[in-house]
Amino acid sequence: MEGDEARRSLLSMTSQLPQAKEASPLQETLLVVEDEDAIRETVALALEEQGYRVLQAADGREALELVHTAERLDLMILDLMLPSLNGLDLCRLLRREGNALPILMLTAKSSETDRVVGLELGADDYLTKPFGMRELIARCRSVLRRRQQAYTSEATVLRYGDICLFTQECRVLVRGVEVSFSPKEFRLLELFMSHPRRVWTREQLLERVWGSDYMGDSKTVDVHIRWLREKLEVDPSNPEYLVTVRGFGYRFG
C-alpha cells in the first residue's frame, strides 16, 4: 500500500519533466539497482521517458552480473541498502577490478558515513532519499557529461599487466617491446582493454569491431583472438590475458 502511494506520487512528478530526447540506437544505457520495486520501476520509467535505455537489478549480485554482461552501460544508479551484496561492496568490487562505470549513489538522509565511504570508493555523485525525479535526471545528465569530458581529455594510454596500448598513436607495447597489429586486431584489443574482465560474446565483438552490417560469421572472431594471443601471450595455448569463457565468449584479464 505504502509502495503504491510512493509510486503514484513519484509518477505525478514525472508529468512535468523536460521534453524527452528522441530514442536512437546509440542510446545511453543506465542501470538502476534498487530492491524496492516501486522506487526502482518509477525511476526506470522516468529515465526511459528521457530517452535513456534502462536496465534494472533488484540486488547487488544481479547488478554485478549485468555490469559484466551488458552490451553497453553508461551509468549505474545504485541504492546502498541492498540484499545479497550491498551497494558499497558492489562499488568497491567494481573499482577493484578496474571498472570505471560512473556510479550515482542513492543514500538515506541519516547515513553520512555511507556517503563519505561511497565517494571514497569511487562513486561519482550521490542523491539523498527522498529525491525528486527532476533532480535525479539532472544528476544523471551531469555525471554522464562529466565522464564524457574526462574521457575525451584523458591520457589515451590503456595499461593492463605487461601490455600498454596508446589509443591515439595506434601503438602497442608488449612486455616493453613494440608489436605491430592489424587495424582489426588493434580495435579488438582496444575494446578488450577498455573493459577489463568484461565477458564478450562473439556476436558482440563482431558488432563492435566489424560493424553490424558485416556478413562474415563468428569464426572470424576466433581467428583474430588466436592472432592476438600469439602477439600478447607468453604461452598462446595457455592464455593469461585473453581468456575463453566457456559457453559465453572471451574476456580480457
CA end-to-end span of the chain = 47
For Ca ion, the binding residue among 79, 114, 124, 190 (CB under 5 A) is 79
C-alpha triplet 51, 71, 26: angle, nearest 5°: 35
Which lies closer to Ca ion via its Cβ, residue 57 or residue 188?
57
Q: How far is the CB of 82 from Ca ion (least distance, A)?
A: 6
* 8-47: contacts with Ca ion (CB under 5 A): 35
Closest chain position to Ca ion (CB)? 81
Among 13, 58, 66, 81, binds Ca ion (CB under 5 A): 81
Residue where the block lists cell 541492498: 82
Q: Three-state DSSP class for 244?
A: strand
Q: Give the binding range for Ca ion (CB under 5 A) out of 24-32, 71-79, 93-101, 132-140.
A: 71-79
Q: How far apart are CA 177 and CA 162, in angstroms?
A: 10
Q: In the bound complex, what is the minimum distance in angstroms from residue 34's beta carbon to Ca ion?
A: 5
Contact segment (CB under 5 A) with Ca ion among 1-9, 55-63, 78-86, 227-235 equals 78-86
CB closer to Ca ion out of 58 and 158 = 58
Give CA separation, 16 vs 50, 133, 143, 191, in Å.
12, 10, 22, 40
How many residues of this chain bind Ca ion (CB under 5 A)?
3
Residue 33 vs 221, nearer CB to Ca ion: 33
What's the rounded Cα separation, in Å, for the pair 173 and 175? 6
Q: How far is the CB of 131 from Ca ion (least distance, A)?
A: 13
**Shortest CB 71 distance to Ca ion, Å:** 26
Tell me which DSSP letter residue 212 carries.
Answer: T
Among 72, 21, 76, 10, smallest CA distance to 50 is for 21
- List contacts with Ca ion (CB under 5 A): 35, 79, 81
